[in-house]
Amino acid sequence: METPILVIFVDAYPYADSEPLAKKLNALTYKKVTPGVGYSINVKAEIFAKLKPDEVGYFCEWIYNKEKVHKWMTPLVVQILTLIGSINNFSNRVIHKLVRMIIKEPIYAIPFDVLPYLKNAGATAYEYTFKKPTFLTKLNFTRVLYSKVGVNDEKVFREAKAVLKRDMPKKLFVSTAELDGIMHYYGKGSDEYNKQIRLIDKNIFELVREFNEIHGAESQYFIFSDHGMANVDEGVLFDIRKVLGKPGKNSYSYFIDATFFRVWLNNKELKCKLIDAFDTVKQGHVLDEKERNQYGLKNIEHGDVIFLLDEGKMFLPSFFGNTICKAMHGYDPVLESQQGTIISGFEFDKEVVNAYQIHDLIMSCETT
């Protein structure tokens, strides 16, 4: 007999602030979710498809590609684009926006001399464009996705309730993302954040209640998130060009994420010089071999050197811009601030749930 299952994914819903909802639902399970390493793009791959970076084929959204991705970006074109972007911040934003329209990729503030060798490879695991099997595809979930409705949680929940009432699907998945952006922009604990938590809790409670009323006592629900957040208190500058010179096909390439600094060395002789320079940055550390093995980052294609910042720090500038977010994630996964949440009427015997285990938990719910 098919088990009706409601799954609600709330991006960045912290464990510490989800307890009121768990109590209101009289949930049998309310536990921490320890994320995988990196940002949502990788944690979602672990949650929905049980795939770590080595298995899914990317770490963070952008990866290095040894063969030139954008062949039209010749040295002369790169020089012209860079020159225009260097006039002022406005011209830099305009020229990046124009190039974004041409290549149809969100290039943010990526420097033009490294862009030709970067590829946007990350894919959100609950989207239909994700090619690998997930529990959504295996169990044939109906999906209400914020990417279709908009980054507006109230609209997403309204659409989910309408789909439930109209189609009465036995497998319903709902994704939201507004809370994540609110924390980045306003900070964790802000008035805007607290207001959004109340909105989320109210709508989830109503949706769970309506799902149970339609499908009866045999129905199950899961509410979970990919990570928590920590407020940011310091920007960190690391100018790799002062250390290794200009990037290039015969030297190195790099990507500055908000909390990660990834470097690909085409000239391996540069490694010692780079490590020595990173050692002077006291707000973080280079991932060692043990950590890379643990996180599923053994493949050197993720970066010859990967530097991770400490909690509350953020690279400034990064390839995402020249401003500091009020709150960030993507720090050491074991930190208390980084813990997501899982709330369910399905009881299981785990003190802390790793993101990697959620796939099997939901699949086991179907077979019990």
For 32-51, what is the mean pLDDT? 96
Instruction: Kindly report the pTM of this predicted structure.
Output: 0.94
**pLDDT at residue 349 above 90?**
no
Per-residue pLDDT at 156: 98
Does residue 19 sit in the same domain as residue 129?
Answer: yes
Does residue 216 sit in the same domain as residue 277?
Answer: no
16-54 burial by CB neighbour count: b if 16+ within 10 A, else e? Answer: ebbeebbeebebebbbbbbbbbbbbbbbbbbbbbbbbbb
Nearest partner of 267 among 289, 287, 244, judged by Cα: 244
Q: How far is CA 161 from the centre of its chain?
A: 26
Does residue 220 sit in the same domain as residue 237?
Answer: no
**Residue ranges making up the domain that contains 245:** 233-324
Does residue 193 sit in the same domain as residue 142?
Answer: yes
100-150 pLDDT per residue, tens: 999 898 899 999 999 999 999 989 999 999 999 999 999 999 999 999 999
* Mean pLDDT, the chain, whole residue set: 94
Percent of the chain with pLDDT over 90: 88
Does residue 139 sit in the same domain as residue 217?
Answer: yes
Q: Which residue has better confidence, 347 or 161?
A: 161
Q: Residue 304, Cβ neighbours under 10 Å: how many?
A: 17
Asked whether residue 279 is domain-assigned, the answer is: yes
131-144 pLDDT per residue, tens: 999 999 999 999 99
**pLDDT at residue 368 above 60?**
no
23: left (phi over 0), alpha (psi -120 to 50) or beta: alpha
Which region among 9-13, 58-62, 364-368 has the lowest average model confidence (pLDDT)?
A: 364-368
CATH code of 311's domain: 3.30.1360.180
55-74 pLDDT per residue, tens: 999 999 999 998 889 999 99
What is the tally of structural domains in the chain?
A: 2
Does residue 250 sit in the same domain as residue 141?
Answer: no
For 255-283, what is the mean pLDDT? 96
Does residue 314 sit in the same domain as residue 224?
Answer: no
Per-residue pLDDT at 346: 86
Instruction: Report the relative pairing of strands 327-328 and 340-344 from DSSP bridges.
Output: unpaired
Does residue 281 sit in the same domain as residue 342?
Answer: no
In the chain the beta strands, taken as DSSP E runs, fall at 5-10, 29-34, 62-64, 118-120, 142-144, 171-176, 220-224, 230-231, 234-236, 252-256, 260-265, 284-286, 305-309, 313-315, 327-328, 340-344, 352-354
Does residue 212 sit in the same domain as residue 309?
Answer: no
Between CA 216 and CA 166 the distance in angstroms is 17
Does residue 180 sit in the same domain as residue 285?
Answer: no
Asked whether residue 94 is domain-assigned, the answer is: no
Does residue 224 sit in the same domain as residue 133?
Answer: yes
For 145-164, what is the mean pLDDT? 97
Does residue 248 sit in the same domain as residue 216?
Answer: no
Asked whether residue 350 is domain-assigned, the answer is: yes
